Amino acid sequence: MKYLYEYSDILNTPFEAFMFDTLRIGSPVRPHFHHYAEIIYMISGTNNAVINEKEYCLKRGDMLLIYGGDIHSMSFTPGERTVFAGIKFNAARLTVNAGVTPKLSSLLTAARDQGARVNFGGDETKEYDIGSYFTDCVDELDEKRFGYDVAVQARLCLLMLTMMRIWKREGIDFSSLTGHVSEEELSFRNVLEYIDEHLEEGLKVEELAGRCNMSYSHFARKFRELYGQSCKEYIELLRIEKAEELLRFTDQSLNDIGQELGYADCSHFIRMFKKHKGVTPGSLRSGEMTV
Do 287 and 248 form a contact (C-beta atoms < 8 A)? no
Taking the CA of residue 23 as centre, how many other CA atoms within 13 Å lie in the half-sphere pointing to its CB? 6
Residue 10, pLDDT score: 55
**Residue type, position 124, single letter:** E
- Interstrand relation of 54-58 and 47-51 (parallel, antiparallel or unpaired): antiparallel
Residue 289, pLDDT score: 40
Residue 57, pLDDT score: 97
> In b/e form, how buried is each residue of 191-214, taking b as 16+ CB within 10 angstroms?
bbeebbeebeeebebeebbeebeb
Residue 1, pLDDT score: 56
Residue 193, pLDDT score: 83
For the segment(s) 183-288, the CATH number from 3.40.50.970, 3.40.50.720, 3.40.50.150, 1.10.10.60 is 1.10.10.60
Residue 95, pLDDT score: 62
**Residue type, position 120, single letter:** F
Residue 4, pLDDT score: 81
Question: What tens-digit pLDDT sequence spans the chain (291 residues)?
Answer: 566 878 766 555 678 899 999 999 877 899 998 888 999 999 999 999 999 999 999 999 999 999 988 999 999 998 899 999 999 998 877 765 544 556 777 888 889 989 999 999 999 999 999 999 999 999 999 998 888 888 998 999 999 999 999 999 999 998 766 444 566 776 887 888 888 888 888 789 999 999 888 999 999 998 888 888 899 999 998 899 889 888 888 889 999 999 888 888 899 999 999 998 899 999 988 874 433
- Interstrand relation of 63-66 and 37-44 (parallel, antiparallel or unpaired): antiparallel
Residue 264, pLDDT score: 84
Query: Residue ranges of the domains in the chain?
Result: 15-169, 183-288
- Give the Cα separation of 114 and 208 in Å (integer): 26
Q: Say yes or no: do domains 15-169 and 183-288 share a fold.
A: no
Fold of 15-169: Jelly Rolls (2.60.120)
